[in-house]
Structure 1
Amino acid sequence: MSGEPIHAELIAVPVAVTGARPRVLTLFDGSALPAGPLESGHRSLQAGLRNWAERLTGHPLGYVEQLYTFADPARSRTGRSISISYLALTAETRTPLGGRVSWQDWYRYFPWEDRREKIATIETAIKPGLDHWSAGSDEHRARASLCFGLDGAAWNEDLVLARYELLYEAGLVREAARDGRPAHGAFAPGAIMTADHRRILATAISRLRAKIKYRPIVFELMPENFTLLDLQRCIEAIAGHTLHKQNFRRLIESQKLLEETGSLASGSGRPAKLFRYRPEILAERAHAGTRLTLARS
C-alpha cells in the first residue's frame, strides 16, 4: 500500500566467547537482541547502533560491522519495518548487568549447531519432521540433506541461516507456528526469540563462522595474551566442532600470526607459553587477512 509508514530499526548482535562457550548479549531474559529506532540525531547508522545497544545493556560494544538489512514486507503489522543489523565482537565482563540484560549461550537457540560432542539432536528431534516435510519431493529432500548433512552429505558449519530458514519453511520452529505456518512434525529444540531475532542471530553466526576462515577477526574475541589452547578453544566454540590439535598448531605456526610474550600462563599443571598477535597482523585486521583452515579432529 502506498504511503504506509516505514520504520527503521538498528539491531545489534553482541558476541563474546567465554570459557569456550559462544555467548550473545540479550534483553528480556534472552528473548530479544538489543535494538532501537534510527533517530534523526544519530550522526551515522553505527553511531545510532552503539547508542542504543550501550544504553539498553550498559555494556560497550567493541568491533562492529554491518551484517544484513532485513526488509521483508511481513516483518511488521504496523507498516514497513526495515532492520539494519550489526555483528559486534566484544568481551564479556564481570560487571553486573542491569534489568533483564543477560549473556546467553548461542547454542541455547541452535542446539543442533554444536557438534563438539556427539549428540543425536538432528537424528532424533529434527530428521523425523524433515522426512515428513520432504516426503514426495526430491527437491525438499535434497535441500534437507545438504543443510543437515543427511543421506551421506557433508556437514557445512557455515549454513546456520540456511538450516534455520529450512526449519521455518517446514514449520519446525515455533516462530513458524507463531506466524501461521503449518507444522510438519514436532518443533526442533531451541529457545524462541521475539520477531525475527533468532533469524538475525543465525545470520550473525553464519557470518562469523565463515569469516574466521579468511580474516583474522577472531583477534577481537581474545584477550591481549593467551595460550594456543585458549585460541583453539575459542575457534572451536564458534565453529561448533573440534579441531585436530597438532594440525591446528602447525597451521598457526606456518601462518606466522603470533609471537611469544616470554611469559607463562599461571595455574596448576605444566605452565603453557603465552602468545599475542604480531603487531603487523593487528594493524591489518581491518582488511582481508590470513586464511585459517579449520582442520577437524
Structure 2
Amino acid sequence: MKGTRSGSISSERDVSRLTPIEIGLTTAIVAVTDEEPRVLVAGETGQKDEPAGLPSGAFDPLSHRTFEIGLREWVTAQTALDIGYVEQLYTFGDRGRHARAGDTDPHVVSVGYLALTREPENVQGLRKTGASFQPWYRFFPWEDWRNGRPPIIDDAILPPLAKWAHGAPGRNERLRLCFGGGNTSSSDGRVWDEEKVLERYELLYEAGLIEEACRDGRVAQVHGRLGESMRLDHRRILATAIARLRGKLKYRPVVFELMPAEFTLTELQRTVEAISGRHLHKQNFRRLVEGTELVEPTGEVATATGGRPAALFRFRREVMQERHAPGLRLGVRR
C-alpha cells in the first residue's frame, strides 16, 4: 500500500511539472468623465468575435523586477497611458476563468490591479493602440441605482435566479444578501449593499446566467444579455475593482485621484454618485464633506456651471496626517 501511494504521489508530481503556468498582470484603469465611471478597454486581440478586455500581459521575471513595473510597462505599451495610483486587488487562478473548454494553453494565474486616473483630453495615443474608455455600467447595468432600482433586476435577473434558488435555503440566502430579496416581489431595494459587486457577479456566474459561464463549458441558462461580457476572467476582475473602490471611498480619500485640482462640490458629489451607483441628498452630502474636512475653498468660483457661480474647492492633503481613516462615510442604503 505504501509503495502504491508513493507511486501515485510521484506520478501526480510528474504531471504537475508538465503543466505550464503563466503569471498574468491585469488592471482595471478607472476614470470618471461627464459624470460616468469609465474603465479602459484594451485594443483588439486579433481573435474573431473576442469580447472586450482589460489591459493585460504576462509577467517576465527576467525583465520585470516587480509585478507593478511589469504592469505599468504593459499598460503603456497597450494604451500609451502613464497611470498614477495603482493598488493590487487579488490573485485569480481558476482554470475555467482563463481558458475555453479543452484548451491546453498554459494555466494563467492573474494578478489583478485597480488604477485610478483622469481621462486624457488628447486621446490620439489611445486611439492609435485601439484602447478606449468605456462606461463600466455597460458591463454591470444592475449596479447603477442613481435613477432608482434598475429594471433589469426584476425583468431579467430575479426570475431565473429565484427558479435556480428554489428549494435551496443556502442559495436563497445568498440571493437575498446580494439582490435585496429572494423573490420577484421584493422590489423596494431593501438591504442593497453597493459593495457586493463581486458576490452578485459570482452568483450570476454560478447560476449560469452570464455568457462567461457558457464560454467556460459550464451548464448555462443565459436569459438575454446580462451586461456585456469580457474576455477571459476580466469581468470578474472589474467586479472586484468596482467593489474595492466603492468600499474604499468610505475610509480613504481615493475619490480625489479622479478629480481635477479644483472642483465644485456638485462635481465632487456627481463623481461619488457615479462610483457608488447611488443618488445622494445634496445637503446631506455637503454636511458630510464639511464635517470630514476633506476639502478647503480656493477663494475662486467656477462661472461655467450653467447657473450661479459656484465656489471652487481643492483636496486638503493635511487630512492624511490628521486622521487614520479620512473618507466619505456614506450611509447604508435601506
TM-score (structure 2 length as normaliser): 0.84
| One-letter code aligned to 1:108 | R
> Structure 2 vs 1, CA of residues 288 and 45 (structure 1 numbering), >3 Å: closer, same or farther?
farther
**Could you list the runs of 5+ residues in structure 1 that have no partner in the other structure?**
none
| One-letter code aligned to 1:62 | G
Alignment of 1:118-137 (within 5 A): 118=148, 119-137=150-168
Asked whether the equivalents of residues 262 and 313 of structure 2 are also in contact (C-alpha less than 8 Å), the reply is: yes
1:276 matched to 2:291? The reply is: no
Task: Decide which moves more: 160-169 or 25-34.
Answer: 25-34
Match for residue 92 of structure 1? Answer: 119
Equivalent of residue 58 in structure 2, options 32, 37, 42 = 37
Match for residue 47 of structure 2? Answer: none
> Structure 2 vs 1, CA of residues 165 and 194 (structure 1 numbering), >3 Å: closer, same or farther?
same
Alpha-carbon deviation of 1:188? 4.8
Equivalent of residue 173 in structure 1, options 192, 201, 210 = 210
Q: What SS class does the counterpart of residue 142 from structure 2 fall into?
A: helix
Which whole-Å deviations, capped at 9, do the CAs of 1:184-238 have from their partners, x for residues lacking one?
Answer: 4514521111011000000100100011011111111111000001111101000
What is the root-mean-square deviation of aligned Cα atoms in Å?
Answer: 1.9
Which whole-Å deviations, capped at 9, do the CAs of 1:85-112 have from their partners, x for residues lacking one?
Answer: 1100000012122242111000000000
Match for residue 226 of structure 2? Answer: 189
TM-score (structure 1 length as normaliser): 0.94
Number of residue pairs aligned between Structure 1 and Structure 2: 295
Asked whether the equivalents of residues 135 and 141 of structure 1 are also in contact (C-alpha less than 8 Å), the reply is: yes
Asked whether the equivalents of residues 26 and 111 of structure 2 are also in contact (C-alpha less than 8 Å), the reply is: yes
Match for residue 6 of structure 1? Answer: 21
Alpha-carbon deviation of 1:291? 3.5
Give the Cα–Cα distance (whole angstroms) in 2 for the partners of residues 167 and 183 of structure 1. 10
> Structure 2 vs 1, CA of residues 185 and 23 (structure 1 numbering), >3 Å: closer, same or farther?
closer
Give the Cα–Cα distance (whole angstroms) in 2 for the partners of residues 66 and 31 of structure 1. 21
Match for residue 56 of structure 1? Answer: 78
> Structure 2 vs 1, CA of residues 142 and 184 (structure 1 numbering), >3 Å: closer, same or farther?
farther
Equivalent of residue 146 in structure 2, options 116, 119, 122 = 116
Alignment of 1:252-291 (within 5 A): 252-267=289-304, 268-281=306-319, 284=321, 288-291=324-327
Give the Cα–Cα distance (whole angstroms) in 2 for the partners of residues 80 and 148 of structure 1. 33
Give the Cα–Cα distance (whole angstroms) in 2 for the partners of residues 265 and 105 of structure 1. 27
Give the Cα–Cα distance (whole angstroms) in 2 for the partners of residues 284 and 56 of structure 1. 37
Match for residue 40 of structure 2? Answer: 25
Q: Percent identity?
A: 50
> Structure 2 vs 1, CA of residues 166 and 290 (structure 1 numbering), >3 Å: closer, same or farther?
same
Match for residue 292 of structure 1? Answer: 328
> Structure 2 vs 1, CA of residues 158 and 188 (structure 1 numbering), >3 Å: closer, same or farther?
farther
